Structure 1
Amino acid sequence: MKNSLSKKNIYLKNISEYLVLWAVGGCIYYGIEVLFRGFSHISMFMLGGLCMQFFTWQGRLTEWQDALPRQITRCTIFVVSMEFITGIIVNKWYHLAVWDYSDMPLQLWGQICLPFALIFSFLCTMGILLSGYLLHWFYREPMPHYRIW
Structure 2
Amino acid sequence: MNSVKKALILFVAGGGAYYLIELMFRGYSHGSMFLVGGLCFLLVGLLNEQLSFDMPLKWQMLLGSLLITVVELISGLIVNSWLGLNVWDYSSLPFNLWGQISLLFTILWIPLSGGAILLDDYLRYRWFGEERPHYRF
Task: Classify the TM-score, shorter chain.
Answer: over 0.9
**For the residues of structure 1 that align with 2:25 and 2:46, how far apart are their CA atoms?**
28
RMSD (Å) for aligned C-alpha atoms: 1.1
2:129 corresponds to which residue?
140
Distance apart, 1:62 and its partner CA: 2.0
Q: Does residue 125 of structure 1 match 2:114?
A: yes
1:63-82 per-position Cα deviation (integer Å, ceiling 9, x unaligned): 22211111111111110010
2:11 corresponds to which residue?
22
Q: Detail structure 1 runs of 4+ shifted over 2 Å in the superposition.
A: none
Corresponding residue SS for 2:2: helix
1:80 corresponds to which residue?
69
**For the residues of structure 1 that align with 2:91 and 2:101, how far apart are their CA atoms?**
9
Q: TM-score, normalised by structure 1?
A: 0.87
Distance apart, 1:15 and its partner CA: 2.3
Distance apart, 1:13 and its partner CA: 3.2
2:90 corresponds to which residue?
101
**For the residues of structure 2 that align with 1:29 and 1:37, how far apart are their CA atoms?**
12
**For the residues of structure 2 that align with 1:57 and 1:65, how far apart are their CA atoms?**
14
1:4 corresponds to which residue?
none
Identity %, equivalent residues: 39
Q: Does residue 116 of structure 1 match 2:102?
A: no
**For the residues of structure 1 that align with 2:62 and 2:46, how far apart are their CA atoms?**
15
- Give structure 1 stretches of 5+ with no counterpart: 1-11
**For the residues of structure 2 that align with 1:35 and 1:78, how far apart are their CA atoms?**
23
1:71-108 per-position Cα deviation (integer Å, ceiling 9, x unaligned): 11111111001001111111111110100011111111
**For the residues of structure 2 that align with 1:47 and 1:137, how far apart are their CA atoms?**
24
Structure number with larger C-alpha Rg: 1
- Give structure 2 stretches of 5+ with no counterpart: none
User: Which amino acid in the other structure matches residue 49 of structure 2?
Assistant: R
Q: For this pair of structures, how many residues does the alignment match?
A: 137
Corresponding residue SS for 1:103: coil
Is this contact kept in 1: 2:62–2:110, CA < 8 A? yes
